[in-house]
């Protein structure tokens, strides 16, 4: 659902727009917090080559030119409570 509006994401996941916005802000603030950022985010060295999957695909490369790095294949462990597990199922 990357690049979609909150309204489209809410419709896709069958949730209210306010709920989508609330949890998007929580995730954004969590990832930008010092604890998470300093532990899990590692900036790529400037002399590192661009991955061929990004470089050879015109869908990706124009958007990633002149960038330092991007989150690629990052998985974050999630342990929701038993009440929240149904809502978290099959979410990427």
Q: pLDDT per residue over 12-49, tens digit each?
A: 888 888 998 898 889 888 888 888 888 877 766 667 77
50 domain residue, yes or no: yes
In a domain, 37, yes or no: yes
In a domain, 41, yes or no: yes
Task: Tell me if 1 is assigned to some domain.
Answer: no
Structural domain span for residue 84: 6-88
Q: Is the pTM of this model over 0.75?
A: no
Tell me, yes or no, whether 57 lies in a domain.
yes
Domain count of the fold of the chain: 1
Whether residue 42 lies inside any domain: the answer is yes
Q: Which long-range contacts (CB under 8 A, 24 or more apart) does 58-67 make?
A: none
Q: Quick check: 1 and 8 in contact, CB under 8 A?
A: yes
Per-residue pLDDT at 28: 86
Q: Specify whether the CB–CB gap between 6 and 24 falls below 8 A.
A: yes
């Amino acid at each position: 659902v990357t690049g979609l509006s909150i309204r489209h994401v809410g419709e896709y996941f069958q949730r209210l727009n306010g709920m989508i916005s609330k949890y998007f802000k929580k995730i954004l603030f969590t990832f930008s917090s010092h604890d998470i950022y300093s532990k899990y985010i590692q900036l790529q060295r400037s002399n590192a080559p661009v991955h061929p999957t990004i470089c050879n695909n015109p869908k990706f490369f124009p958007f990633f030119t002149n960038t330092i790095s991007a989150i690629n294949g990052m998985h974050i462990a999630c342990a929701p409570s038993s009440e929240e597990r149904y809502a978290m199922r099959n979410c990427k």
